[in-house]
Structure 1
Amino acid sequence: MTTPPTVDVHAHVLLPEVEALVAGLPGRAAAKALDARRNGPAALAVNGPMVRDRVPELTDPAVRLAAMDAQGVDVQLVSPSPSHYHHWTDEETAEKLYRLANEATAAHCSAAADRLRGLGLIPLQHPAMAVRALGHALEQGLLGVEISSHAPGRELSDPAYEPFWTRAEETGAIVFLHPFGCTLDERLDRWYLSNTVGQPVENSVALSHLIFSGVLDRHPGLKLVAAHGGGCLPTHMGRADHAWATRPDARAGCAHPPSSYLRRLYFDSLVHDPHVLRELVRVAGADRVLLGSDFPFDMGTEDPVGSLRAAGLSSADFHAVRGGNASALLCKE
Structure 2
Amino acid sequence: MNHPSPTVDVHAHLLLPEAEALVDGLPGLAEARALDARRNGPAALAVNGPMVRDRLPKLTDTGARLAAMDAQGVDVQLVSPSPSHYHYWTDEDTAEKLYRLVNEATAAHCSAAPDRLRGLGLVPLQHPRQAVRALDHALAQGLAGVEISSHAPGRELSDPAYEPFWSRAEDTRALLFLHPFGCTLDERLDRWYLSNTVGQPAENAVALSHLIFSGVLDRHPGLKVIAAHGGGYLPTHIGRSDHAWSARADARAGCAHPPSSYLRRLYFDSLVHDPYVLRELVRVAGADRVLLGSDFPFDMGTEDPVGALRAARLPEADFHAVRGGNAAALLRKD
| TM-score normalised over the length of structure 1 | 0.99
SS of 1:78's partner is strand
What does residue 280 of structure 1 align with?
A: 281
**2:201 aligned with 1:200:** yes
Matched residues in 1 for 2:117 and 2:4: separation?
19
What does residue 246 of structure 1 align with?
A: 247
Is the contact made by 2:3 and 2:320 (CA closer than 8 Å) also made in structure 1?
A: no
SS of 1:117's partner is strand
1:160 is displaced (CA, Å) by 0.1
**2:132 aligned with 1:128:** no
Q: Deviations over 1:32-73 (max 9, x none)?
A: 000000000000000000001000000000000000000000
Matched residues in 1 for 2:38 and 2:242: separation?
35
Matched residues in 2 for 1:205 and 1:330: separation?
27
**2:157 aligned with 1:144:** no
Q: Deviations over 1:276-307 (max 9, x none)?
A: 00000000000000000000000000000000
Q: Report % sequence identity.
A: 86
What does residue 319 of structure 1 align with?
A: 320
CA gap 1:332/1:308 in 2 versus in 1, 3 angstroms: closer
Amino acid at match of 2:22: L
Matched residues in 1 for 2:84 and 2:333: separation?
28
What does residue 8 of structure 1 align with?
A: 9
Q: Deviations over 1:192-241 (max 9, x none)?
A: 00000000000000000000000000000000000000000000011000
What does residue 166 of structure 1 align with?
A: 167
Amino acid at match of 2:148: I
RMSD: 0.9
What does residue 42 of structure 2 align with?
A: 41
SS of 1:162's partner is helix
Q: Structure 2 stretches of 5 or more lacking a match?
A: none
Matched residues in 2 for 1:200 and 1:330: separation?
25
Amino acid at match of 2:211: L
Matched residues in 1 for 2:40 and 2:32: separation?
12
1:2 is displaced (CA, Å) by 4.2
1:156 is displaced (CA, Å) by 0.2
Is the contact made by 1:12 and 1:80 (CA closer than 8 Å) also made in structure 2?
A: yes
Q: How does 1:1-333 map to 2 (within 5 A)?
A: 1-331=2-332
Matched residues in 1 for 2:213 and 2:313: separation?
33
List structure 1 segments (4+ residues) > 3 angstroms apart after TM superposition: none
Amino acid at match of 1:310: A
Q: Deviations over 1:134-184 (max 9, x none)?
A: 000000000000000000000000000000000000000000000000000
Matched residues in 2 for 1:207 and 1:221: separation?
16
Q: Structure 1 stretches of 5 or more lacking a match?
A: none
CA gap 1:243/1:270 in 2 versus in 1, 3 angstroms: same
Amino acid at match of 1:125: Q
1:101 is displaced (CA, Å) by 0.2
CA gap 1:81/1:124 in 2 versus in 1, 3 angstroms: same
1:331 is displaced (CA, Å) by 1.4
Q: Deviations over 1:242-284 (max 9, x none)?
A: 0000100000000000000000000000000000000000000
SS of 2:251's partner is helix
Is the contact made by 1:13 and 1:80 (CA closer than 8 Å) also made in structure 2?
A: yes
Matched residues in 1 for 2:236 and 2:4: separation?
30
1:3 is displaced (CA, Å) by 2.4
SS of 1:255's partner is coil
Is the contact made by 1:172 and 1:332 (CA closer than 8 Å) also made in structure 2?
A: no
Amino acid at match of 1:308: L
